[in-house]
Structure 1
Amino acid sequence: MNGVDPLGTGVPGPREARARARAGTAGPTAGWAPGHAQANLIAVPADWAYDVLLFCTRNPKPCPVLDVTDAGSWTTSLAPGADLRTDIPGYRVWEDGRLVAEPADATPHWRTDLVSFLIGCSFTFEGALDAAGVPLRHVEQGRNVSMYVTDRACRPAGRLHGPMVVSMRPVPARLVPMARRISGLLPAVHGAPVHAGDPAALGIRDLDRPDFGDPVVAEPGDVPVFWACGVTPQAAVMASRPPFAITHAPGRMLVTDVRDEEYRLTL
């Protein structure tokens, strides 16, 4: 993407990207293995799995489900041979809605009753944006994408409730329609933006103070564009306080073997 090489030695494929994450390469995965889908993770005890599935079903924009594992499994059909406990470059461990650990390897925290949900990520359509000439400021600046908790409540489901989280990318005003059209063809990875323009419309007070990720500097003529974000389940964990959960660290995804084009609608 735009000549940026986040992993340092050429553009890797998805298996190499996962191997480097397993070996301890950290940092946001934007730009990793261009052309391949990326996925958010939330793993919960089996007796909370239906609540999560119902929450995702009722809130498909921020929580589009790509795969669900059997209880205790750390494998996914999205990436044969991958280990969900080790192949993401950063995890978060939650107890009663509190963040208690941020390990590089989740294996010591894994439980035999955990059901994992892999949720679509907007990094998946960034390759298409880049190919169309839409700049990716966070990649250009070597920063994590900016993410914000909004004042838009998700539809509750069982014991889960919470606000929608959005990711923000500054886009030149003339290219906003193109960004909307391109991302809209990939609803399985959040699809079109939920808002473009004044962040106050989403209850966001200060773009320089994201709730997750890094502040990203806009260029003259840029407009803030907001997409629904797969960190939304983490906001639900904080609001709903399940006894235990493991998630990815924001901006650090599972790189899958699935080509992004497999999620693209054909018109």
Structure 2
Amino acid sequence: MDAYEIRQEIRNGRHKNTTSGLANDNVQANLVVLPKAYAFDFLLYALRNPTPIPIIEVLEDGKCNSRFAKDSDIRTDIPFYNIYKNGTLVDTVEDVKDIWQDDFVSFLIGCSFTFEDALMKGDISLKHIEQNKNVAMYKTNIPTERAGIFHGNMVVSMRPIKKNLVDKAIEITSQFKDMHGGPVHVGDPRAIGIEDITKPDYGDSIDIADDEVPVFWGCGVTPQNAILQAKPSIMISHKPGHMFITDINNEAFKEE
């Protein structure tokens, strides 16, 4: 199925799983939706922290149709949404039409699923896709730069990479600067505040073999961590691993 058909499957409740590995040639996006009163602070926060929060589109005044996705509706075209109120996760739902507000500003944020396609085309296997799991994501001790009410530490995604292919993985992903770019850390997870690699904060645990090393990239779940600190009246986001699939080809974000 192409990206449009997958969005229809999601909208109609026929796909309720992670979007990793779907429409591999298409850019996938994280979602953050906030009332207008918080939008400038969040945009500034993203601009100051482009590695975990690379903005690819902003929809203002309650608009819900992305110009990068034909006949799309960001209120329905993601498998699951997390709803936060005053910094607390209160619900996870399949669509957010019932709580949509005219003053909502929506941010679509680049996703590492884009460079996963490039990694696989470069003969670098990805265990979470092979095992039909969500990518493992962790809170870290890496600080982000504050903007207004938004602050907190970075969230990272982790993929076990064969030791002899780490340099190649760095080279490939560094070409996608607007999709988190190259890794923020390679190796010992404790160096970035992860005490137990077998217990991710989001997603699924992925085994790391003796000939592999954990490689960590900035992650678009970082704003959800910041929400715990900022405590806006309401925020809507994607459930980690469940993305908005656009019609944009991944190659559009590749830098030589």
Which residue number in structure 2 is paired with residue 77 of structure 1?
A: 67
**Cα deviation, residue 81, structure 1:** 1.1
Measured after TM superposition, the shift of residue 239 of structure 1 is 1.4
SS at the partner of 1:185?
coil
SS in 2 for 1:234: helix
Tell me how large the CA RMSD over aligned residues is.
0.7
Report the Cα offset of residue 103 of structure 1: 0.2
> What does 1:69-108 correspond to in 2, within 5 Å?
69-108=59-98
Shift of 1:215: 0.3
Aligned to 1:23: 12
Paired residues, what number? 255
**Which of 184, 189, 199 is residue 194 of structure 1 equivalent to?**
184
Q: Deviations over 1:233-261 (max 9, x none)?
A: 00001111111110000000001000000
Q: Work out whether 1:212 is the aligned partner of 2:188.
A: no
| 1:256 alignment counterpart | 246
The residue correspondences of 1:55-70 to structure 2 (distance < 5 A) are 55-70=45-60
Aligned-partner SS, 2:93: coil
TM-score (norm 1): 0.94
Displaced runs of 4 or more, over 3 A:
none
The percent identity for this pair of structures is: 44
CA deviation after TM superposition for structure 1 residue 197, in Å: 0.3
SS of equivalent to 1:102: strand
Report how far residue 161 of structure 1 moved: 0.8
Residue of structure 1 aligned with 2:32, choices 34, 42, 49: 42
State the alpha-carbon separation in 2 of the partners of residues 222 and 243 from structure 1. Answer: 43
Q: Is the 8 A contact 2:4 2:70 kept in 1?
A: no
Q: 1:139-167, CA deviations, whole angstroms, 9 ceiling, x for partnerless residues?
A: 01111000000011110001111110000
Q: Distance in 2 between matches of 1:54 and 1:65?
A: 11
> Partner residue of 1:143?
133
Deviates more, 1:246-255 or 1:214-223: 214-223
Q: Is the 8 A contact 1:42 1:245 kept in 2?
A: yes
* More moved, 197-206 vs 74-83: 74-83
Partner of 2:3: 14
The one-letter code sitting in structure 2 at the alignment partner of 1:145 is V
1:131 pairs with 121, 124, 142, which one? 121
Letter in 2 for 1:35: D
Q: Name whichever of 129-138 and 103-112 sits farther off.
A: 103-112
Structure 2, unaligned stretches of length 5 or more? Answer: none
8 Å CA contact 1:62–1:190 kept in 2: the answer is yes
Q: CA deviation at 1:216?
A: 0.9
Q: What is the CA–CA distance in structure 1 between the aligned matches of 2:50 and 2:133, rounded to whole Å?
A: 27
Q: Distance in 2 between matches of 1:227 and 1:163?
A: 13
| Structure 1 gaps, min length 5 | 1-11
Q: What is residue 119 of structure 1 aligned with on the other side? A: 109
TM-score for both structures, normalised by structure 2: 0.98
In 2: Cα distance, 1:202 partner to 1:143 partner: 24
**One-letter amino acid matched to 1:182:** I
Deviation at 1:111, TM superposition (A): 1.1
**Aligned mates of 1:162, 1:23 — CA distance in 2:** 36
Counterpart-to-counterpart distance in 2, 1:74 and 1:199: 38
Is residue 63–residue 229 contact of structure 1 (8 Å, CA) maintained in 2? yes
Mapped to 1, the partners of 2:191 and 2:51 lie a distance apart of 18
For residue 128 of structure 2, what is the amino acid of its counterpart? Answer: H
Looking at structure 2, the residues matched to 184 and 127 of structure 1 have their Cα atoms a distance apart, in angstroms, of 14
Does the alignment pair 1:185 with 2:169? no
Aligned to 2:24, what secondary structure does the other structure show? coil
**What is the Cα deviation at residue 80 of structure 1?**
2.7
Partner AA of 1:19 in structure 2: Q
The aligned residue for residue 148 of structure 2 is 158
